[in-house]
Amino acid sequence: MNNTKRAFLKRWDSPIAGYLFLSPWLIGFLLLTLGPMGMSLYYAFTDYSLLRAPEWVGLENFKRIFLEDDLFRLSLKVTLLFVVVSVPMKLAFALCVALILNKDVRGMSYYRTMIYFPSLIGTSIAVAILWKNMFSQDGLFNQFLGLLGIEGKAWISDPDTALGTLILLVVWQFGSSMIIFLAGLKQIPADLYEASSVDGASKVKQFFSVTLPMLSPIILFNLVLQTINSFQMFTQAFVITKGGPINSTYVYVMYLYERGFARFQMGYASALAWILLIIIGIATAVIFASAKYWVHYETEGGKEK
């Protein structure tokens, strides 16, 4: 190897080369993530309406939110109810489907693809419109009930059922959680099931004594991921119900959106956004704190090294 080539390789072996390769991501992070977050934090302490320069007001926005804003409490209550109900239902349904698909059956790859398909289209507006039409007074769901002799109703126009239709839509899009569960199931050693069978454990016993403990780190991951996503739910409620009827589906991010982009109160909306960030952080911290009681790690003594 000649000296020129050796010098060239030595130059690209330095830390500077690594930062050069990372520079597109670092620049994007600074300009598109960290920068906007810093500006949002600043605006949270200002009176800023997009039509005039921001005016520093200190903690005034936060005082109004916690002491005077009834819609803040309402939207937070609706969001918490949505998270508490939708996340366990979605994870339970995803796990059940993953258990069914974790079989060596001919053509199983095609079944997995078809079941995963609803999640590929994500939370698009088209899906929300389809769901809205399906659960309207003359929608497909009521037509199906009519065949059974059951009189349906306008599910999305009833305060008692509107939020349930949104929860059902989120649960229906279970594919990403299901894929993660399926990958976790593939990693469970088969000899654990064989050993439990020798000990006389039934399938139900194996599920609770082998499958769930071995899958608990995956459950933790999915739980954190879906909790964060559910707190940020917006598209479905905005397209399907507009927050109604009687604010029964008025989720937190919809209120934040209306404050910022309908009333042009960007300072107030920024304060709401940072409160949401703190709430999500607290919820995530609680989940991780509880993990030591129910998450099993495959290490010595069942504890994480």
Confidence band for 224, pLDDT divided at 50, 70 and 90: very high
pLDDT of residue 284: 96
- Judge whether residue 305 has pLDDT over 80: no
Nearest residue to 159 (alpha-carbon basis) of 254, 248, 66: 248
Of the ranges 6-15, 119-128, 175-184, the best mean pLDDT one: 175-184
What tokens appear for 230 in the block? 């559910």
Q: For residues 271 and 61, is the Cβ–Cβ distance under 8 A?
A: yes
pLDDT of residue 137: 84
Q: Domains in the chain, ordered, with CATH?
A: 48-302 (1.10.3720.10)
> What average pLDDT does the chain have?
86
Confidence band for 265, pLDDT divided at 50, 70 and 90: very high
In terms of DSSP H, where are the helices of 121-245?
125-134, 140-147, 162-172, 175-186, 190-198, 203-206, 212-231, 235-240
